[in-house]
Amino acid sequence: VFARHHGGKGGNQAVAAARALRGTDAVVVMIGAVGDDDLGRDAVSALETEGVELNVWTLGESTGVALITVDADGENQIAVAPGANVGFGSEPVNEALRQHAPDVVLVSLEVSPDAAMAAAGYCADAGAVLVLNPAPPSLRTRELLPMAAYVTPNEGERAAMGSVPEGVVVVETRGAEGAVIHRDDDPPILVPASAVAAVDTTGAGDCFNGVFAAGLLEGLDVEEAARRAVTAAGLSVTVAGAREGMPTRDEIGAALRSRS
């Protein structure tokens, strides 16, 4: 079966955060770029419908797309044509961050290295919390790590990162197992996931990251923020599509109460 769905790490993460914060005073802003094409206009419209505030540039490249294959167990493989994402540099990022003055900034590496470094530099200067999602793996990850408060790799990305600077909290996602929190020399903390019938794991990591960042914004400690994020990611994989199964704030709360 072939189907088209909205996606992109930043867009998915913004939707997950917006749904997790719906009904609060928090504002989720998506900073990014699209092409001057139907895919770009459709992507912008979909994010606006979710209540995401947009600071998006339209560039002369095509909008980024991905081809995703999903097997019978819901596992996926992804090939990406980044398009406008890689043409998006530091200047628009700096301008947008100065305009919005965020408290928490979630950065993935699906954008250009200059854009990611600009966001990290802003956080270091402004005292904002940087959540670094080191996906897809990048040679610039080592440069970004010292500026991050939290880094959220999967198992493969964790292995590729090597050592982590002191004080940076690693929240390693492990799919159906949940997540593991690594903080300096403290014993690792497992945040277990509940068993679910997975239909499509596409976007589960993005859901985790968006809900985790939302939890930090609300003042939750890392364990509670991770617990909410693991729960949300588990709910998200029960529906086909990267965003379709991402839960609302009420759905996350109900799932947490049912498991307590």
Domain boundaries, the chain: 9-258
CATH class of 9-258: alpha beta
- pTM of the entire structure? 0.95
Active site (annotated) includes residue 206:
yes
Catalytic residue among 71, 114, 206, 221: 206
Statement: residue 74 has pLDDT above 90 = no
Distance CA 202, CA 11 (A): 13
For residue 87, name the pLDDT band (cuts at 50, 70, 90): confident
Residue whose tokens read 């797309």 = 65
Closest of 113, 57, 48 to residue 84, by C-alpha: 57
Q: Which of 47-51, 70-74, 171-175 has the lowest mean pLDDT?
A: 70-74
One-letter amino acid identity for 60? G
> Residue 260's pLDDT is what?
76
> Residue 73's pLDDT is what?
86
How many percent of the chain have pLDDT more than 90?
88
Statement: residue 54 has pLDDT above 90 = yes
> Residue 259's pLDDT is what?
86
Statement: residue 171 has pLDDT above 90 = yes
Closest of 31, 36, 37 to residue 8, by C-alpha: 31
For residue 76, name the pLDDT band (cuts at 50, 70, 90): confident
What's the rounded mean pLDDT across residues 171-186?
Answer: 97
What does the mean pLDDT of the chain come to? 96
